[in-house]
Amino acid sequence: MDGDGTGEAAEAATKAPGPRRIVAAAVVTGVEGVIVAAFGLFSLVLLATGSPDDMVQAATLAVTVLALSALPLAAARGLWHRRRWSRGPSMIVQLLALPVAWQMAQNGGGLIAAAAALALAAVAVLACLVNPKATEALGIAPR
């Protein structure tokens, strides 16, 4: 550390959440990751307490879903700390959420509301992440 405190100021600046768009994108992406992880844990509980038709398939589903929850959770943490690399994974998660929402809506019933919420969240995060102020805050310069 240097004696003038500039190192402390730089460290504090990287810990601050940043623009509201980045904070919103981080929170929504994190919530998506938590929901996916909860589904994976729920699948593990069903596997342990129930008797699925195919144990291997049920175990594979649970482990795969838990592994997939790592991407939005890591992206959310990166966005919160304004890491440049986190924008891409978060955008990929949102782009993958759109066809999932479409399929959920096709099944009808109560899934239509969940599909609408998922699609709205995905579009909102994408809008936040392509905003010029957000890209500037993440250190991504225009080409």
Tens of pLDDT, residues 20-78: 999 999 999 999 999 999 999 999 988 888 878 888 888 999 999 999 999 999 999 99
pTM over 0.75: yes
Angstrom distance (rounded) from CA 100 to CA 114? 10
Residues 100, 43 contacting (CB under 8 angstroms): no
pLDDT class for 81, splitting at 50, 70, 90?
very high
Angstrom distance (rounded) from CA 132 to CA 82? 14
Q: What is the structure's pLDDT at 36?
A: 94
Pick from 59, 44, 97, 60: which is nearest to 75 by CA?
Answer: 97
Tens of pLDDT, residues 86-142: 999 999 999 999 999 999 999 988 899 999 999 999 999 999 999 998 999 999 877
